[in-house]
């Protein structure tokens, strides 16, 4: 498997330019706010979402002429919007979840007050809105406005359903689309307004982003149970402790209900009691027992199979693109999403 750095090699200069824009061109008047934003963007990150935009744009530009003479400028605005929305949503999520560490590094709200942290997230959303206006394409505005609506809807539903071990698969997939995949989808879908494309081609491009996003979140769910604190920045089973019922656990409950319905009901009840449980050892026992059930019922394996299904559909949609180093990277990125360890 190629490293992310290797996969992004064809768009290395694009990523460098994006980083420069994020670090040096987003300059609010407030010195405190400017310091916070530079601290956030200096921490780096995968830049996965804007990379989708860069790779897809370059792959299309191999044989298509862009509709707009300033398409390159619009591309960078789209990439910047994607990273701003993603980063702002993480900042707000950490406040909602009262998280002090993310991926092993201190969160913004652990170093600054909640008030200034919320405002920093708001500022990033506002700057994304300004960029949307600069793109001046109504459909692109609609695409990213829908992402913001989806993020809010997904977060509200997730808060409402915390520790609810009876959620359905439909709920899980909708939440995953709203909170994760809709932004991935927008990163590629927005580009379809820059090139002359058929409706079928537009849908394939949008679906590539959407399906990669769905697979990405499922792998995140798997890593919550299979990775250690050193590599992931949080202990195994942290999602359960925080009240999130993810795909491996859903598959485990589905199987357990068939072979031992009483045990299934008992385990669900224990998870639902976590918020009121004062004994941390009992909470950890519930998490450990849940992980054991996931292992015994092939919850991890079934989740991998679902993620692979999404990735295969994503790659299949690229068949209309001509062969190029950019298309190769899109295919390699799909493989990376499945095989990554953090």
SS3 content of the chain, % helix, strand, coil (to 5): 75, 0, 20
**Spatial distance between the Cα atoms of 85 and 127, rounded to a whole number of angstroms:** 9
**Spatial distance between the Cα atoms of 222 and 209, rounded to a whole number of angstroms:** 20
pTM above 0.75, yes or no: yes
Any idea of the CA torsion for 86, 92, 96, 99, to the nearest 10 degrees? 80
What is the residue-level pLDDT of the chain in tens, covering all 342 positions?
789 999 999 999 999 999 988 887 666 677 777 888 888 887 767 899 999 999 999 999 998 999 989 999 999 999 999 999 999 998 888 887 777 666 667 777 777 677 888 888 899 999 999 999 999 999 999 999 999 999 999 999 999 999 999 999 999 999 999 999 999 999 999 999 999 999 999 999 999 999 999 999 999 999 999 987 666 667 889 999 999 999 999 999 999 999 999 999 999 999 999 999 999 999 999 999 999 999 999 999 999 999 999 999 999 999 999 999 999 999 999 999 999 988
- In this structure, what token pair is assigned to residue 159? 């808060």
Domain ranges of the chain: 4-339
Give the model's pLDDT for residue 157. 92
- In this structure, what token pair is assigned to residue 333? 């990125």
**Spatial distance between the Cα atoms of 242 and 275, rounded to a whole number of angstroms:** 9
Give the model's pLDDT for residue 192. 97
**Spatial distance between the Cα atoms of 45 and 108, rounded to a whole number of angstroms:** 14
Give the model's pLDDT for residue 80. 96
CATH class belonging to 4-339: mainly alpha
CA atoms within 13 A on the CB side of 142: 5
Give the model's pLDDT for residue 139. 97
Contacts of 126 (CB under 8 A, 6+ apart): none
DSSP secondary structure, 92-130, as one string: HHHHHTT-SEETTEE-HHHHS-HHHHHHHHHHHHHHHHH
Neighbours of 19 (CB within 10 A): 17
């Amino acid at each position: 498997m190629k490293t992310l750095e290797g996969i992004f090699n064809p768009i290395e200069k694009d990523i460098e330019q994006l980083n420069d824009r994020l670090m040096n061109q987003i300059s609010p008047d407030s010195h405190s706010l400017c310091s916070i934003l530079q601290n956030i963007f200096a921490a780096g990150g995968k830049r996965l979402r804007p990379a989708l935009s860069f790779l897809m744009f370059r792959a299309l530009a191999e044989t298509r002429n862009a509709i707009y003479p300033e398409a390159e400028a619009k591309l960078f605005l789209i990439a910047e919007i994607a990273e701003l929305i993603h980063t702002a949503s993480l900042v707000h999520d950490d406040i909602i979840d009262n998280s002090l560490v993310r991926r092993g590094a201190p969160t913004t709200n652990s170093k600054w007050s909640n008030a200034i942290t919320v405002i920093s997230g708001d500022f990033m959303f506002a700057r994304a809105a300004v960029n949307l206006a600069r793109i001046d394409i109504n459909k692109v505005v609609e695409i990213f406005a829908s992402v913001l609506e989806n993020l809010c809807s997904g977060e509200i539903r997730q808060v409402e359903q915390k520790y609810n071990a009876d959620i359905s698969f439909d709920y899980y997939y909708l939440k995953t689309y709203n909170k994760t995949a809709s932004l991935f989808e927008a990163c590629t879908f927005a580009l379809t307004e820059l090139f002359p494309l058929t409706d079928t081609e537009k849908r394939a491009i949008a679906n590539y982003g959407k399906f990669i996003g769905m697979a990405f979140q499922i792998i995140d769910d798997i890593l919550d149970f299979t990775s250690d604190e050193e590599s992931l920045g949080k202990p195994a089973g942290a999602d359960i402790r925080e009240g999130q019922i993810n795909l491996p656990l859903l598959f485990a409950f589905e199987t357990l209900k068939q072979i031992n319905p009483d045990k299934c009901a008992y385990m669900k009840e224990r998870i639902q009691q976590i918020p009121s449980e004062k004994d941390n050892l009992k909470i950890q026992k519930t998490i450990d027992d849940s992980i054991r059930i996931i292992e015994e019922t092939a919850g991890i394996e079934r989740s991998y199979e679902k993620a692979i299904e999404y990735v295969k559909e994503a790659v299949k949609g690229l068949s209309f693109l001509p062969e190029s180093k950019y298309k190769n990277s899109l295919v390699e990125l799909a493989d990376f999403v499945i095989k990554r360890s953090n």
